[in-house]
A and B are shown apart, each in its own frame.
Chain A
């Protein structure tokens, strides 16, 4: 059936809550308001206020509460209204969720999902337009997902909820209304596996989340000029499916990595480092990186467009690694 990303996420949470009574959803405006972006629409009605829980605006508190509940055996889904506000809670995530298992010699598990929209939307200025994947991907002990299709959104969120580890699940405001086919029957998408969206010979373009649309558009534009692109949707940032990326590069000998975060110490720059060290003998050009300009996001729309990644920037980066 055809679903939006928003509906797919809603189905994933609802199905898992029907399946396991330890799963609950907590966050700002998730219950009575049906979610700030309506991802939890109707869930209060179905599951009641015991399992779909509105919080005060206290990110550190309710995130930590989720972590404690997970530590004691429940399976919380913590919604951050946007990832910008996860910064209020990041100590709980990094110091408690990610490390306690290790510090306790493996006594505890943290089956918890932290999810919400990440990355710039439009016109929201510097504090509300941040792609924060690098911060979370940096931390051992966290899994990080960033799907780009309704089918992956659903299948990966279900896997994340069943996972016994803390998972940061990155969505995007602009993606919530994207539509796509989703299997009718129950399914899971395993975490840690990239997807090859298009096979090609001349250049690999790899990315995740919202930029996948720009990547597919860029690939189409390049195909029209006779340049064959292999498109990889990384979708799981940690664990990272290095094999799929490396074998593609060994075939095409060129790669452009797209990551809408800032370029300094980013997921994208790390992947380009991995490719350089692991595929050095196969590369015909240094890896290209398309990232956000290394500045806070301005409010003015034209400036904002200048700062964000775009289809055009991806095409140019591909041309550059092809020496065109």
Chain B
């Protein structure tokens, strides 16, 4: 595993930003600044942050589902543009047309944001196809949930990726639930990392509450793929602290279960590890946390003061 203080600090700062940003999003949703379906990433920060931090987004690509605020921020998207998108403002990354589920930044190689469960998976294979076609160096990270893995789109895509040797890592973010459904209730097998096996892809389970493990595993795999193209598959085990979306009271799980995962909080885990190793103290941590809060608040202020899109914009962006 890595042992590089600089990387640790970046991972910690990035996770803190996602956490504080999402907490503010929840508050602003309560104030009706944000509407519609809004899926928070709190608890799962280590997955997007760990995985994406190991990439070089000049050549690599990211594509995710609708729980995408964390991925957007981890890709280095401007928090102001992400928040403004949630507010539906003209300065949003999708000009207010996409909202929570549709964060895109072509320049940063963040290709969405998709509201259809499993919808992004074949597209991810297509991104990898382009890399292979042009004989580039990159790799695609394709994120999807434990619910999405049963869609035909997943099974078709892993097979395609294998037969065409596409440079792609399929990342199943297993947060244990698809909406109100415990993943074990709807899966023939509990070990989702085995799902790639019948397509000749060895999968691996990764502890998604440990950002260092996520970072290292994704880095190792993407380095391998860049040398010898072909698909990889990781099941990253994680947990969402909030309901499925803002309207879900999450009555299908116990308080004890939630409390148990909070004990393994990804931010706490890294913080304690760094303090124990003498790489961080409480005061420094507090400074980092304050900074994350400030960036989030600045993003909200930017969103608040941004203009509504012009109404005739409804007719633009349909055709190229």
Q: Does B116 contact A (CB under 8 A)?
A: yes
Contacting B at CB under 8 A, from A282-298, are: 293, 295-296, 298
Cα-based distance from A58 to B98 in the complex (angstroms): 25
Which residues B267-320 have CB closer than 8 A to chain A?
308-309, 311, 313-315, 318
A47 at the interface (CB under 8 A from B): no
A54, A125, A126 interface centre (most CB from chain B within 10 Å): A125
Q: Nearest chain A CB to B205's CB is how many angstroms away?
A: 20
Task: Kindly list chain B residues whose C-beta atoms are within 8 Å of the C-beta of A302.
Answer: 308-309, 311
- Is A123 a contact partner of B36 (Cβ separation < 8 A)? yes
A58 and B116 CA atoms in complex are apart in Å by: 11
User: In the complex, which residues of chain B have a beta carbon less than 8 angstroms from the beta carbon of A300?
Assistant: 88-89, 96-97, 99, 308-309
The reply on B139 being an interface residue by CB < 8 A is no
For residue A269, give the distance in angstroms from its CB to the closest CB of chain B: 19
Of residues 135 to 150 in B, which have CB atoms within 8 Å of A's CB atoms?
Answer: 147-148, 150
Smallest CB separation, A177 vs chain B (Å): 14
Separation in Å of the A70 CB from the closest CB of chain B?
21
Inter-subunit contact B179/A36 (CB<8 Å): yes
Taking a contact as CB atoms under 8 Å apart, the answer to whether B37 and A293 are in contact is no
Give B242-270 as 1s and 0s: 1 = Cβ < 8 Å from A's Cβ atoms. Answer: 00000000001000000000000000000
With A32-B252, A56-B187, A293-B314 already in contact, the answer to whether A123 and B99 are too (CB < 8 A) is yes
Distance in angstroms between the alpha carbons of A117 and B308 in the assembled complex: 29
Contact B116 A125 (CB under 8 A): no
A303 & B311 in contact (Cβ 8 Å cutoff): yes
Residues A299 and B179 in contact, CB atoms below 8 Å apart: no
Say whether A125 contacts B101, CB under 8 Å: yes
Is B163's beta carbon under 8 Å from chain A?
A: no
**What does the 1/0 interface line of A30-55 toward B look like (CB < 8 Å)?**
00110010000000000000000011
Report the separation of the CA atoms of residues A306 and B316 in the bound assembly, to the nearest whole angstrom: 14
Proximity bits, B80-93, A CB within 8 Å = 1, else 0: 00000100110000
User: How many CB-defined contacts (below 8 Å) exist between A and B?
Assistant: 117
**Could you tell me the distance between the alpha carbons of A128 and B89 in the complex, rounded to whole angstroms?**
19
Q: Is B151 an interface residue (CB 8 A)?
A: yes
Instruction: Using A36-B179, A300-B308, A303-B313 as known contacts, say yes or no to A60 and B99 having CB atoms under 8 A apart.
Output: no
Q: Is A15 in the interface zone, CB < 8 Å from B?
A: no
Evaluate contact between A125 and B252: CB separation under 8 angstroms: no
Find chain B residues with CB under 8 A from A301 CB: 35, 88
Is A33 in contact with B180, judged by CB distance below 8 angstroms?
Answer: yes
Assembled-state Cα–Cα distance A58/B313 (Å) = 35
> How far in angstroms is the closest Cβ of chain B from A136?
18
Q: How far is the CA of A115 from the CA of B314 in the complex (A)?
A: 30
Chain B residues in 8 Å Cβ range of A84: 115-116
Q: Is the interface of B mostly helix, strand, loop or mixed?
A: loop
B115 x A57 contact (CB < 8 A): no
In whole angstroms, what is the CA distance A127 to B101 when docked? Answer: 10
Closest to A293 in B: B314
B36 touches A122 (CB 8 A): yes
Q: How many residues of A contact B (CB 8 A)?
A: 34
Number of interface residues of B (CB under 8 A): 39
Contacting residue for A32 out of B35, B181, B315, CB 8 A: B181
- Which of A32, A88, A122, A307 lies in contact with B314, CB distance below 8 A? A307
Known contacts being A306-B311, A306-B314, is A60 close to B97, with CB within 8 Å?
no
B102/A125 in contact, CB under 8 A: yes
Does B117 sit within 8 A of A, measured CB to CB? yes
Is the C-beta of B229 less than 8 angstroms from some C-beta in chain A?
A: no
Q: Decide: A125 and B115 in contact? CB cutoff 8 A.
A: yes
Pair A124/B36 contact, Cβ less than 8 Å: yes
Which residues on B sit within 8 Å (CB–CB) of A28?
A: 179, 181
Chain B CB within 8 A of A85 CB: yes
Complex-state Cα separation, A36 to B35, whole angstroms:
18
B246: min CB distance to chain A, Å:
11
Closest chain-A Cβ to B230's Cβ sits at a distance in Å of 27
Q: Which residue of B lies closest to A121 (CB)?
A: B36
Q: How far is the CB of B234 from the nearest CB of chain A, in Å?
A: 20
Would you list which residues of chain A between 225 and 274 have a CB under 8 Å from chain B?
A: none
B178 beta carbon closer than 8 Å to chain A: yes
Task: Check: A61 CB closer than 8 A to any chain B CB.
Answer: yes
Within the assembled complex, what's the spacing in Å between the Cα atoms of A273 and B272? 71
A152 interface residue per 8 A CB criterion: no
Who on chain A is nearest to B86 by CB? A299
Distance A60 CA – B98 CA, assembled complex (angstroms): 26
**Chain A, residue nearest B313 (CB):** A303
CA distance A32 to B186 in the complex (A): 12
A56-B181, A302-B308 provided; 9 other pairs, C-beta below 8 A?
A32-B181, A55-B186, A56-B186, A88-B151, A125-B99, A293-B315, A295-B318, A300-B308, A307-B314
Question: Which residues of A pack against B, CB within 8 Å?
Answer: 28-29, 32-33, 36, 54-58, 60-61, 84-85, 87-88, 122-128, 293, 295-296, 298-303, 306-307
- For this complex, 10 residue pairs linking A to B, each with C-beta atoms less than 8 Å apart, are A33-B179, A57-B150, A57-B186, A123-B88, A126-B97, A127-B101, A127-B116, A128-B37, A299-B94, A303-B314
Chain B residues with a Cβ under 8 A of chain A? 35-37, 85, 88-89, 94, 96-99, 101-102, 114-119, 147-148, 150-152, 178-181, 185-187, 252, 308-309, 311, 313-315, 318
Q: Which 6 A-B pairs have the closest CB atoms?
A: A123-B36, A299-B99, A123-B35, A300-B88, A56-B186, A33-B180
